Amino acid sequence: QIKESATLTRDVLEQHFSDLKGTLKKLLDERLMSLLQEVDVIEQESIKPLDECQKLIEHGVSTADDLLREGESAVDGDVGTQNEKLCNFTKKALHIQLDSLPEVPSLVDVPCLSAQLDDCLLTILKNQIFRHGTVASRPPVQLEEFVEKPGGILVRWCKVDDDFIPQDYRLQYRKSTASHFEDVYVGSETEFIVLHIDPNVDYQFRVCARGDGRQEWSPWSVPQIGRTTLVPHEWTTGLEGYSLSSRRNIALRNDSQSCGVLYSKAPTYFCGQTLTFRQVLFGIETVGQPDRRDSLGVCVEQQNGYDSLQRDKAVCISTNGAVFVNGKEMTNQLPAVTSGSTVTFDMEVVQLGPCSNEGGNFKLRVTISSNNREVVFDWVLDQCCGSLYFGCSFSYPGWKVLVF
């Protein structure tokens, strides 16, 4: 691991500084071209009136030379033509102004170009470059735990650098066969349930953090493999009153007049004789009009003909917060289910009597949580249950439930 990470770090550093060199050279070249263009513009704009002035002076000098030669020719000619040439010379000389010159700007008004280059740029760049980049012997955060979920994995991570003050965490994952990681969570929590995980497939995870008040992310943690063997929870298809997502983990109560209980496709919530079992989460995304018959819960078996889970061999919570066990309402009540609510079912199995093929006394210790409040009770059954169904029922359209 040390040699592999050292080699990777060298490659990252070399590539980064190579990219910086190319970028800096490009920026310097662009700045140089910009300054040279400024010189060209100033030169062209400043030299134009001087060029015009020079042309006027040269034209006047040329005219004076021509007039001088014409006067010499008139004086040197014979007597017959001399008078005529002198007359023409005199007329031309009267019309030419030889004593006027165009206005020439004073020397202080003529631009004199120069370049001002501040040498402190090198000092600033030097200081910034010498502080750019760090090499860490270990990342400030590491992956801590993977917990299997139906069709998902609960990933937990922790801070291992006591001096590091995290502001945000960033979790990425990829299939073992994929070449690139992708972001799955950015936030301040230290755990996240990654959904849409294929069962019995390896996934690689890594996490990094951003220090308080900083923009750059820390080095990535050591990548670790996580997997789930639990098949994803799915709602059963075909019930007229509900529309399902493509993965069948989201159920939407549509505006059909048909009503009834929507059950899971299979009894995928397992209750065994281990110490603790955690049931599925019901994330309420949107809500419709509540009704006292509404229900979210678990049951021993599918029973058609009911319009609610408020019946025998089922435990559930209504959207108004009432808790029902085998069809009877408890005195304890939870907060009402509203938009954004999450309801959780946790169960611990306690066997009261011998469990055989003929059945036996069976008790589940159930904890239902909603909006940071919970109720705990014992659910006594007359048969052993290796697994349970989950279900929901809503009287009015608009409810949208994600199960995972």
pLDDT digits (tens, 9 = 90+) for 91-103: 777 777 666 666 6
Residue 168 belongs to some domain of the structure: yes
| Same-domain check for residues 162 and 295 | no
- Tell me the average pLDDT across 243-250: 91
| Same-domain check for residues 281 and 185 | no
| Same-domain check for residues 146 and 127 | no
pLDDT digits (tens, 9 = 90+) for 156-179: 999 998 888 999 999 999 998 888
Q: Is this prediction's pTM over 0.95?
A: no
DSSP string, 104-159: PPPGGGS--------THHHHHHHHHHHHS----SS-SEEEEEEEEETTEEEEEEEE
Split into its structural domains, the chain has a count of 3
| Same-domain check for residues 15 and 111 | yes
Q: Name which of 344, 335, 337, 346 is nearest 377 in CA terms.
A: 346
| Same-domain check for residues 367 and 269 | yes
Residue 109 belongs to some domain of the structure: yes
Alpha carbon distance 323, 399 (integer Å): 19
| Same-domain check for residues 382 and 309 | yes
Structure tokens at 206: 């890594």
Q: Name which of 337, 349, 352 is nearest 394 in CA terms.
A: 337
Structure tokens at 374: 């919970």
Residue 136 belongs to some domain of the structure: no
Residue 346 belongs to some domain of the structure: yes
Residue 355 CB neighbour total at 10 angstroms? 16
Domain closes at, from 84, 108, 131: 131
Give pLDDT, residue 86: 73
Give pLDDT, residue 274: 28
CA distances from residue 32 to 25, 28, 29, 123, 345 in whole angstroms, order as listed: 10, 6, 5, 19, 68
Residue 325 belongs to some domain of the structure: yes
Q: Name which of 390, 385, 393, 380 is nearest 268 in CA terms.
A: 390
Residue 160's H or E segment, with its range, is: none
| Same-domain check for residues 27 and 161 | no
- Return the higher-pLDDT residue of 327 and 214: 327
Range of 147's domain?
A: 141-228
| Same-domain check for residues 54 and 163 | no
**Cβ atoms of residues 170 and 186 within 8 Å:** yes
Domain closes at, from 79, 99, 131: 131
Supply the CATH number for residue 353's domain: 2.60.120.920
Structure tokens at 55: 């042309």
Residue 49 CB neighbour total at 10 angstroms? 14
Supply the CATH number for residue 151's domain: 2.60.40.10
**Cβ atoms of residues 404 and 233 within 8 Å:** yes
Residue 236 belongs to some domain of the structure: no
Residue 234 belongs to some domain of the structure: no
